[in-house]
Structure 1
Amino acid sequence: MQQQKLATIEDVAALAGVSIATVSRAINEPTKVAEATRRKVTEAVARTGYTTNAMARSLRMRRSNMILILAPDVGDPNFSNILVGLETEASKRGYGVLIGNTQNDPSRETDYLRFISSNQADGLILFTGHLPFGYGQDGNEARLPPMVAVNEPVPNADVPFVGVDNFAGARIATEHLISQGHKRIAFIGRAPGREVNRLREEGYRTALTGAGLTVDPRLIIDGDGTTESGRAAAELMFVRDALPTAFFCVNDATALGVLISLSARHYDLPRQFSIMGFDDISFSSFVSPSLTTMKQPRTRIGEAAMDLLLGMLAGETPKESQILLRAELIVRNSVGRVG
């Protein structure tokens, strides 16, 4: 059987109706080509099978045009919309993404570094809140590419961060509760080891002191961000007999747990207790009462993070160590006025 002839760049150019130079630019410098033209070239590449040749060339150049995303839990409600932003921006620039679901397993995370050492990925997006396990071992520092942290900052590391302004968002959330007459406001989700939780607690404390209110340690309860931790925290409040009038929860999942606990005790919400969340994940508007919360601009976070990383890959130095986007107060039915 006669071997099929490999497609050439001339074949792609003829099918797309553009010049060979335009095909070359669309493959190697996609941002310099109009979107409509880039789409025609991409379709022609797929139809002719020229993709294989393009991949071989990228390997010779030690570039994969792929970005590795390390995430501890791809089921996190915040992940999918941030991923949309990451993929959208990457695609515009001629890049694809690889997703490593680490499940908080150090061995899985180390395994994913093989994409870096084998030149199958050019850059890293970290959702993990820490440098990759294995970093610093066997000379891995030299092999790690540019990195950007998303959602969770990486403490004590020179890794740019893109995410929501957790401190400001928590301050705004607490100020909203104060504006409704609440003076005894609980914070559910204290976790000093997690930067997001720490920043949201700091925003809560700042809002209270700014309004001349005392921070009562009995109203601050640990939590790991799960629905069960929210339910348990609300039950603990009754054991302590130090009840607030409002609960500010570190995230919406925690707020759901508080809501479940209070509803099981047949409290009239929000007349007897108000509940505030953070993140505005999908279920927030469907529970009863619907959840007042702080909305993260997740798609814009993903786009900004990928733009920053691809700029670093192009040799640009980040102008700032972090890009913080503003959270939006979403007023629904779970917060009421005192009295």
Structure 2
Amino acid sequence: MRQKTKTIQDIARIAGVSTATVSRALSAPAQVSESTRERVMLAVRQTGYQVNHTARNLRRQRSGSILALVPNLANPFFSQILSGLAEVVAAEGYGLLIADTQTDPDPAARLFSYLDNRMADGLVLFDGRLADQRLAARPRVPVILACEWGDPALPSVRVNNAEGAALAVRHLVANGHRAIGLITGPAGNVLTESRLDGTRKAMTDAGLALRPDWTFPGDFTLAAGVDAAQRWMALDDRPTAVLCASDEMACGFIGALQHAGHSVPDAVSVIGFDDIEVCGHLTPALTTIRQPRKEIGERAAELLVGMIAAQSLACTSQMIDVELIPRDSVRRLA
């Protein structure tokens, strides 16, 4: 004989509370006493009751989903961030939707269509191009900026990029390097500017200047690192160390030099930024600045879920520290 499906009324009867109390215990446990919450959860376990998330979301006019907009899903930098994000939102009963904004001809238009149609209960933006004043000015669901930032009216979780670049410069200087080059990120990008500011400040503090002919344009990709290697090899007067604004560019730079017969770090020391998974497996292993990527995703999710629960569009932004990871790609000069 088929067992009858248990209802919230059954849970209330067994626990000796009202259906409203059962609802609060399941959806907002902090609003009920511990003893009441324990009675409700015991009744849930005894009956095997399962919350109908679809019906609950319809009543609340929610989708039950969180949307992450990522500028390049092929970039391994985002893997651990999305993992941390997914773990937290899943534990809170939300599904995670991910969209790549890189090939979208008008990513802002797509973003506003998500907002207008309430296709998600909250957004996590990894693409700083979308964080403009239009987003802060119009009615919307809660939004968190992660990694990049734009309009200061939007809450964000980000790392101290300027300090990360400064850490890299200080490490090179401590190892005897005075001729330091830089592969930048894309022009106008907020991460590019922040890391460039940190580089310049640390070099000024060390009595050095960033030479224009030792500053190579990049866009955070492997190809940009290869192009910078070609430019480095074409110089008569070369820097003894190169700071790369991303690990992908550092990988491209090292690979192109090695194919051309130049040894790293004997010919040039190299330091990256991000600490993606491959860094420790390269030859030589890459010295880099570690961003705690899983923590970035976890914190962004926690802030966003809290905003949704509070029905608020605001929260306090967070800054996360970075860490220098010394490996074999930087040598000490005599």
TM over 0.5: yes
Quick check: 1:174 aligned with 2:173? no
- Distance, in Å, in 2 between the alignment partners of 1:307 and 1:278 is 25
**Displacement after TM superposition at 1:193 (Å):** 1.0
Partner of 2:304: 309
CA contact (8 A) 2:185 2:191 kept: no
CA contact (8 A) 2:242 2:271 kept: yes
CA contact (8 A) 2:266 2:331 kept: yes
Partner of 2:63: 64
Quick check: 1:246 aligned with 2:245? no
Which whole-Å deviations, capped at 9, do the CAs of 1:264-291 have from their partners, x for residues lacking one? 2222321221000010101101110000
Change (3 A) 1:328 1:5: same
**In the TM superposition, what are the counterparts of 1:1-339 in structure 2 within 5 Å?**
8-10=7-9, 23-29=22-28, 50-51=51-52, 54-107=53-106, 110-111=109-110, 113-131=112-130, 142-154=138-150, 156-313=151-308, 314-315=310-311, 318=314, 320=316, 322-339=317-334
- Distance, in Å, in 1 between the alignment partners of 2:133 and 2:199 is 36
- Distance, in Å, in 1 between the alignment partners of 2:81 and 2:16 is 35
- Distance, in Å, in 2 between the alignment partners of 1:254 and 1:18 is 63
- Distance, in Å, in 1 between the alignment partners of 2:12 and 2:241 is 64
**Displacement after TM superposition at 1:200 (Å):** 0.9
In the alignment of these two chains, the number of paired residues is 326
Which whole-Å deviations, capped at 9, do the CAs of 1:159-178 have from their partners, x for residues lacking one? 12212110001100111011
The secondary structure found in structure 2 opposite 1:130 is helix
**Displacement after TM superposition at 1:25 (Å):** 3.2
Amino acid of the residue matched to residue 55 of structure 2? A
Amino acid of the residue matched to residue 71 of structure 2? P
Amino acid of the residue matched to residue 148 of structure 2? E
Q: What is the TM-score with the length of structure 2 in the denominator?
A: 0.84
Amino acid of the residue matched to residue 262 of structure 2? Y
- Distance, in Å, in 2 between the alignment partners of 1:310 and 1:50 is 18
Identical pairs, percent: 37
CA contact (8 A) 1:31 1:93 kept: no
- Distance, in Å, in 2 between the alignment partners of 1:115 and 1:5 is 39
CA contact (8 A) 2:178 2:208 kept: yes
Change (3 A) 1:103 1:18: farther
Change (3 A) 1:174 1:84: same
CA contact (8 A) 1:106 1:133 kept: no
Which whole-Å deviations, capped at 9, do the CAs of 1:184-232 have from their partners, x for residues lacking one? 1110024331111111111111111001112211111110111111111
Change (3 A) 1:142 1:191: closer
Structure 2 gap ranges (5+): none
**Displacement after TM superposition at 1:150 (Å):** 0.6
Change (3 A) 1:14 1:258: farther
Change (3 A) 1:172 1:315: same
Amino acid of the residue matched to residue 119 of structure 1? R
Amino acid of the residue matched to residue 173 of structure 2? I
**Displacement after TM superposition at 1:158 (Å):** 1.8
CA contact (8 A) 1:162 1:324 kept: yes
Per mean C-alpha deviation after superposition, the further-off stretch among 216-225 and 63-72 is 63-72
Which whole-Å deviations, capped at 9, do the CAs of 1:1-26 have from their partners, x for residues lacking one? xxx976522456799x8976675235
Change (3 A) 1:222 1:32: farther
- Distance, in Å, in 2 between the alignment partners of 1:182 and 1:289 is 18
The secondary structure found in structure 2 opposite 1:174 is helix
**Displacement after TM superposition at 1:315 (Å):** 4.7
Structure 1 gap ranges (5+): none
RMSD: 3.4
